[in-house]
């Protein structure tokens, strides 16, 4: 968290007794969806066909101790992709209860859920059919990431969306969610987090179903063997710890760290500089309230949703951009320049700009009147020419100096000169100055795709990946429009 770390560490612990204030929720919509098919009871043969006879290559996950199960990817007759969860034969001995549970959960329809579409109950077979959510689990993106750690803004979005999902389920009479954890949260084609509907199914009538590590189990479950709606809040608190730390930290250990103000062990080092002291303090406070030993002292879901809303600082940035996920149907093939900017391959960018020259300028030099050809103007043009030679020869410090002389005179404007100086700044490890020049090039030529591409390259270099992804897409659109016209 950079220079704000010590301040955060010293002020984050505000005590266990303060309530979570219910900030005004600016968007009260429940995100119900109506375009999903009605809940359907499938035959075993239909699901066998859908999963290619439960082929090994279609296995998505295998887990469960008390209720062993395997989840398969499948495709229904109408080509709709689905996730089919097949339980162990002993998992649901009561077929009537299984059908009652499935039908009840199947009535839920919400954009924050991986919705239950149907079930199968034939003989000893117990299967559930849900939306197939394609972009892995929160555990994968948070604990086992390949290319980049999850950004702070996306972690806060996960917290809000899952709280909204749980609030919706509670409002619909399904307050118990079993074993809430990072493996129960999936990311859809838009990169939005969704809560798996499978955790809403309970295979006992007294709330005794719980299958997590005891170190992460609500205290009351250890005392009574039952979970309650307040137990779900405790599990949500452990989820907030996951999001904050990027690790699975036992709640008791996390609370000790908070009390001791030893947050370096608690906070993911990958988040350094991404959030303010106030936002970090608030998330820690919310988590600690959820992890209270006494269930009655934990907040309710309505207050959690309200408290998480003000923390959403990048709400306008799409989830797929924050996650670095390409959406189906929107994968845009990048030109060589676009690819070079995506990879911040500055040498490749230089070769392309050098080859392009001044083709995209509007002839600023040729528009000068005869009277303007003074000695000063000739000297200015000579500065530009020297800058071009230095740029071509990769003497970027000299290019910056020469182009600056040309720009400072101010008689002529050239977006290409700004583009060349922008790349020269990037080559000289001055990304903020490069970004400023790329922006200025676009001020001069608003639809010039190269200006946007250089902004993207500068933003990538500055570590502002989400903004860079948006700008890169805008540049690709501008380039495509230019090519089609």
Known catalytic residues? Answer: 179
Q: List Cβ neighbours of 299 (8 Å cut-off, separation of 6 or more).
A: 19, 20, 233, 286, 289, 290, 307
DSSP for 319-364, please give it: HHHHHT-PPTT--PPPPHHHHHHHTT-HHHHHHHHHHHTTTTS--T
Distance CA 320, CA 327 (A): 7
Q: List Cβ neighbours of 17 (8 Å cut-off, separation of 6 or more).
A: none
Instruction: Report whether 238 contacts 216 (CB < 8 A).
Output: yes
Distance CA 321, CA 319 (A): 5
Put the strands of the sheet holding 81-87 in their side by side order. Answer: 40-41, 116-122, 125-131, 81-87, 69-75, 59-63
Buried b (16+ CB within 10 A) or exposed e, 323-359: bbbebeeeeeebbebbebbbebbbeebbebbeeeebe
Put the strands of the sheet holding 113-114 in their side by side order. Answer: 113-114, 193-196, 185-187
The per-type count for the chain, helices as H runs and strands as E runs, is 19, 9
Burial class (CB in 10 A: 0-12, 13-18, 19+), 294: exposed
DSSP for 194-221, please give it: EEEGGGG--SSTTS----S-GGGS-HHH
Structure tokens at 233: 């809040």
């Amino acid at each position: 968290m950079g220079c704000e770390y010590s301040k955060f560490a010293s002020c984050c612990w505000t005590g266990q007794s303060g309530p979570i204030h219910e900030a005004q929720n600016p968007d009260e919509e429940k995100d119900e969806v109506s375009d999903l098919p009605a809940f359907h009871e499938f035959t075993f043969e239909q699901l066998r066909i859908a999963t290619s006879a439960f082929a090994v290559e279609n296995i998505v996950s295998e887990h469960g101790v008390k209720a062993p199960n395997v989840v398969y990817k499948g495709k229904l007759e109408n080509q709709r992709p689905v996730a089919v969860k097949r339980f162990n034969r002993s998992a649901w001995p009561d077929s009537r209860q299984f059908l009652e549970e499935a039908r009840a959960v199947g009535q839920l329809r919400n954009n924050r859920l991986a919705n239950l579409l149907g079930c199968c109950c034939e003989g000893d077979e117990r299967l559930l059919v849900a939306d197939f959510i394609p972009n892995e689990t929160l555990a994968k993106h948070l604990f086992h990431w390949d290319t980049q750690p999850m950004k702070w803004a996306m972690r806060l979005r996960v917290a809000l969306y899952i709280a909204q999902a749980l609030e919706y389920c509670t409002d619909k009479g399904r307050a118990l969610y079993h074993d809430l954890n990072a493996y129960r949260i999936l990311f859809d084609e838009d990169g939005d987090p969704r809560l798996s509907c499978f955790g809403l199914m309970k295979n006992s009538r007294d709330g005794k179903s719980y299958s997590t590590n005891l170190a992460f189990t609500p205290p009351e479950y250890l005392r009574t063997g039952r979970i309650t709606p307040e137990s779900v809040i405790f599990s949500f608190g452990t989820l907030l710890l996951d999001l904050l730390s990027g690790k699975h930290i036992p709640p008791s250990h996390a609370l000790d760290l908070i009390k001791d103000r030893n947050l370096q062990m608690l906070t993911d080092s990958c988040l350094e500089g991404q959030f303010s002291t106030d936002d970090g303090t608030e998330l820690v406070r919310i988590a600690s309230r959820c992890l209270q030993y006494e269930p009655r002292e934990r907040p309710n879901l309505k207050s959690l949703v309200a408290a998480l809303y003000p923390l959403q600082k990048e709400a306008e940035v799409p989830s797929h951009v924050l996650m670095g996920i390409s959406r189906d149907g929107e994968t845009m093939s990048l030109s060589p320049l676009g690819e070079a900017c995506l990879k911040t391959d500055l040498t490749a960018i230089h070769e392309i700009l050098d080859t392009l020259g001044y083709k995209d300028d509007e002839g600023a030099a040729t528009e000068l009147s005869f009277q303007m050809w003074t000695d000063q103007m000739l000297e200015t043009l000579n500065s530009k020419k020297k800058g071009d030679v230095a740029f071509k020869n990769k003497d970027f410090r000299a290019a910056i100096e020469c182009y600056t002389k040309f720009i400072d005179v101010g008689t002529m404007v050239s977006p290409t000169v700004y583009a060349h100086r922008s790349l020269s700044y990037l080559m000289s490890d001055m990304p903020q100055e490069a970004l400023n020049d790329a922006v200025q090039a676009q001020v001069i030529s608003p639809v010039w795709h190269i200006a946007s591409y250089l902004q993207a390259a500068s933003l990538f270099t500055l570590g502002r990946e989400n903004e860079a992804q948006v700008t890169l897409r805008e540049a690709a659109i501008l380039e495509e429009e230019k090519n089609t016209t």
